[in-house]
């Protein structure tokens, strides 16, 4: 197992957000975490990388317990995180943004270089010296993914990559995710868009009000329209 989360509970101050979350990601697998706005997708990711202070439960990454490790150690172990709000450094250029993400090559993880990433996201290669603040939403989304890949992660948590993007950019995003998978990166992708999730993932979890309420393959999910309608449709 690449990543195995069990009995994860998280709190923001007095508010209990996640209840006994359990999920698993196999080597080289792409797993979708589906759910509506506010269901707990982002909090799940933030808890796994240690950005939520109040969390309990077991989180195993490549067999190692990371449930109490500080964020930078989790990330350096090869668990990359792409946040939902993009959060690129707007004052820094594309090149500088990538530099912040750079980590030493890690044996066993796919290696990424600037050149390789510019091939994956050709738009970025054309604006190496542009400040992040003067890029379009789609370009910023590509930059956040590229920036995380500069850390040579073996697993990436990708939070709502298709949110707010035009259909054309979404297509590029699908290609990029499939390329990452082909290179050997495991992925957990949170999504509200079932159509997008179906194009990229092997399996899916559905989260609702901080609890996992479905786990199975995409085919199994398609066989249960009741679940799909209850937890996903708008």
Partner 1 sequence: MAFYFVQFLTGLASAASLFLVASGLSIIFGVTRIVNFAHGAFYMLGAYIAFSLTERLSGALGFWGGIVVAALAVAVIGVIVEIVLLRRIYHAPELFQLLATFGLTLMVEDLVVLIWGPDDLVGRRAPGFKGAVDFFGQNIPSYDLFLIVLGPVVLGALWLLFQRTRWGILVRAATQDRDMVAALGVNQKWLFTSVFAVGVFLAALGGALQIPRDAVHHAMDLRIIVEVFVVVVIGGLGSILGAFVAAVLVSELNAFGILIFPTISLILVFLVMAVVLVIRPWGLFGKKEAPARRTPGLTVIPWRPLTSVERLASVVALALVAMLPFIAGNYALTVGAEIAIFVIFAASLHFLMAVGGLASFGHAAYFGLGAYGVAFLAKMAGLPMIVCILLGPLLGALGAAVFGAFAVQLSGVYFAMLTLAFAQIVWSIAFQWVAVTGGDNGILGLWPEKWAASPSHFYWLALGVSAFVVSVLRLITFSPFGYALRGMRDSPLRSESIGINGKRIQWTAFIIAGTTAGIGGALFAYLKGSVFPDNMGISLSVDALVMVLLGGVETVPGAIFGAIVYKALNIWLVSQTDWSKLVLGIFIVLIVVVFPKGIVGVVESVMQRRRAAAPKAAALSAKMEGAQ
HSE, CB side, 13 Å, CA atoms: give it for residue 48: 31
Query: Closest CB to partner 1 among 91 and 222?
Result: 91
- The distance of closest approach from Cβ of residue 201 to partner 1 in the complex, given in angstroms and rounded to an integer, is 23
Is 156:181 a contact under the CB 8 Å cutoff?
Answer: no
| Choice from 9, 24, 28, 92 touching partner 1 (CB under 8 A) | 92
Residue 22-61 contact track with partner 1, rule CB under 8 A, x = bound:
---------------------------x-x----------
Site stretch for partner 1 (CB under 8 A), options 1-9, 19-27, 96-104, 178-186 = 96-104
> Judging by beta carbons within 10 Å of its beta carbon (0-12, 13-18, 19+), is residue 152 exposed, middle or buried?
buried
Strand, coil or helix: 91: coil
Binding status of residue 100 toward partner 1 by CB under 8 A: yes
Binding status of residue 147 toward partner 1 by CB under 8 A: yes
Strand, coil or helix: 76: helix
Strand, coil or helix: 52: coil
Q: Which residue has the tokens 């398609």?
A: 222
State how far the Cα of 2 lies from the Cα of 112, in Å rounded to an integer: 20
Residue 150-189 contact track with partner 1, rule CB under 8 A, x = bound:
-x--------------------------------------
Query: Closest CB to partner 1 among 133 and 184?
Result: 133
Sheet with 15-25: strands ordered across = 15-25, 3-12, 54-61, 64-65
Two tokens, residue 10: 């998280």
Please report, as ranges, the residues that interact with partner 1 according to CB under 8 A: 13-14, 49, 51, 70-72, 75-76, 81, 83, 87, 89-92, 96-97, 99-103, 147-148, 151
């Amino acid at each position: 197992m690449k990543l195995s989360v069990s009995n994860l509970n998280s709190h923001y101050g007095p508010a209990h957000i996640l209840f006994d979350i359990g999920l698993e990601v196999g080597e080289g697998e792409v797993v979708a975490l589906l759910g509506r706005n506010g269901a707990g997708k982002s909090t799940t990711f933030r808890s796994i990388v240690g950005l939520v202070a109040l969390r309990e439960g077991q989180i195993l990454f490549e067999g190692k317990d990371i449930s109490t490790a500080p964020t930078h150690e989790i990330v350096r172990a090869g668990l990359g995180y792409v946040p939902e709000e993009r959060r690129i450094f707007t004052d820094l250029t594309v090149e500088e943004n990538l530099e912040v993400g750079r980590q030493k090559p890690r044996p066993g993880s796919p290696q990424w270089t600037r050149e390789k990433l510019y091939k994956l996201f050709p738009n970025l290669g054309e604006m190496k010296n542009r400040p992040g603040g003067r890029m379009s939403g789609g370009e910023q989304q590509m930059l956040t993914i590229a920036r995380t890949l500069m850390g040579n992660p073996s697993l990436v948590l990708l939070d709502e990559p298709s949110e707010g993007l035009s259909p054309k950019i979404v297509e590029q995003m699908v290609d990029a995710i499939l390329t990452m998978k082909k290179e050997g990166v495991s992925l957990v992708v949170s999504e509200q868009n079932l159509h997008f999730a179906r194009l990229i993932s092997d399996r899916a979890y559905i989260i609702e009000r901080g609890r996992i309420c479905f786990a199975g393959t995409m085919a199994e999910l398609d066989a249960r329209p009741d679940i799909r309608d209850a937890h996903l449709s708008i």
